[in-house]
Amino acid sequence: MSDFVTPVLLMQTLAAVREAGRIITEAWEKPRSIKYKGPIDLVTETDVAVETFLGKRLREILPEANVLGEEGSPAARPEGTTWIIDPVDGTTNFAHSIPQCGISLALWRNDTVEMGIVYLPAEDELFHAVRGEGAFLNGKEISVTDESDVEHALVATGFPYSIREDIDIVMQNLRAVLMTTQGVRRFGSAATDLAYTACGRFDAYYEIRLKPWDLAAGWLLVEEAGGKVTLYDGVTPFDFGKGILASNGKVHKAVAALITDTDD
């Protein structure tokens, strides 16, 4: 159980995330101002506005913590006590008014995620977890599925921004999973995929080349909901910079046998 995340800290952080979510909902029907960070990697003014707002609020809540955000931090991974922010995970979805997008926020301390929050404002779904205290959706405790047969498993995945370079391994893995499981879903938001795995909508999820802000919060959600998170081999504890495999635990080994990371 976390001895760092107090009820007051959790309450203040959840309130800040909900308030930041209103920036997204207020922008939902407005024209998007879009810039490209890469050939298929984009950012909107809403991403910047949410990260700026949250960065300010979180420094007020926990002044001693660093802030690692997708849009404003040059760091590659957290150091010390750090807020890890993805202001709009699934920016392409947001740009096209697809509801699977939202805020991913994690609190990192002592080389572990102590608190994770994923808020999907278009659907008003607020997921949160504190280490050792379970995972919740809109205040109701959630858990992973009990499915143990990989042929009945619904699996989520994502495609990296480096898809043009990684197309062979992505398609190899996708073919293997499609041929073996009940089906595959691709929503374009790692935070959504991990939250959905935590609450039992998916049985497993895998993806390569994600950044800490994409998955830190969802990583804790899955574990606190009773699931398992590792590298693609299904055994090695997960670490930033590697492919992530998250599941209900019961189909973990079977899904791991189907997929290969780019480093394997």
86 annotated ligand-binding residue: yes
Residues 6 or more apart whose Cβ sits within 8 Å of residue 262: 166, 169, 208, 209, 243
Do 199 and 134 form a contact (C-beta atoms < 8 A)? no
Do 211 and 241 form a contact (C-beta atoms < 8 A)? no
DSSP H stretches of helix in the chain: 7-27, 45-61, 91-95, 163-180, 190-198, 212-224, 252-256
Distances (CA, A) of 102 to 3, 122, 126, 173, 210: 28, 8, 10, 27, 16
70 annotated ligand-binding residue: yes
89 annotated ligand-binding residue: yes
Q: What is the DSSP letter of 32?
A: P
Return binding residues for Mg(2+).
70, 86, 89, 214
Return binding residues.
70, 86, 89, 214
